[in-house]
A = this chain, B = another copy of it.
Amino acid sequence: MDEPDLPHLQRLIANSPYLRWLGLEPTSLSRGAVEARARWREDWVANPDLGQTQGGVLASLVDFAASFALFVDLGAPAVTVDLRVDYHRLARRGDLVAQGSVIRRGRRISVCEARVGDLAGRLVASGRGTFLSEG
């Protein structure tokens, strides 16, 4: 497989109903680290009185950024085995930025982490996950 680049990631996102729903747009990419922006939508809101983005959406962004960092590093997809997400503050209405990086790349098992921030640069969630490489 060719090494993944931004157009490659954009095609993967365009092909995925869920990633399209997240409004993802990858903004930078290097070996072992990716960054993407997610376009806010009203469907994300957990409680309309607070307007905060539901935790599952933030978990999706952690999973996406962590697993794409690994994908770019490995040049091959891996399956999410488990995920831990920490919620640091309410994410109010607005786009979010997710950054993923590889902590440890293994032959079968890899561990990656991600941070999700708002456009003011405040950390709203972070986490890490375990990924299994096929084959």
Whether a CB of chain B sits under 8 angstroms from the CB of A86 is: yes
Min distance, Cβ A110 to any Cβ of chain B, angstroms: 9
Number of copies: 4
Contact at A18–B130, with CB atoms within 8 Å?
no
Contact at B59–A81, with CB atoms within 8 Å?
no
Selected interface stretch from A2-10, A25-33, A38-46: A38-46
Query: Which residue in B16, B59, B64, B108 is a CB contact (below 8 Å) of A85?
Result: B59
Residues of B close to A108: CB separation below 8 A: 108, 132
Contact at B82–A104, with CB atoms within 8 Å?
no
Contact at B128–A128, with CB atoms within 8 Å?
yes
Query: Which residue in B45, B104, B126 is a CB contact (below 8 Å) of A86?
Result: B104
Q: Once the chains are docked, how many angstroms separate the CA of A87 from the CA of B132?
A: 11
Contact at A83–B84, with CB atoms within 8 Å?
yes
Contact at A55–B44, with CB atoms within 8 Å?
no
Contact at B111–A126, with CB atoms within 8 Å?
yes
Q: Once the chains are docked, how many angstroms separate the CA of A106 from the CA of B132?
A: 13
Where the two chains meet, the residues of A that have a C-beta atom closer than 8 Å to any C-beta of B are 15-19, 21, 42-48, 53-57, 59-61, 63-64, 79-88, 103-104, 106, 108-109, 111, 123, 126, 128, 130, 132
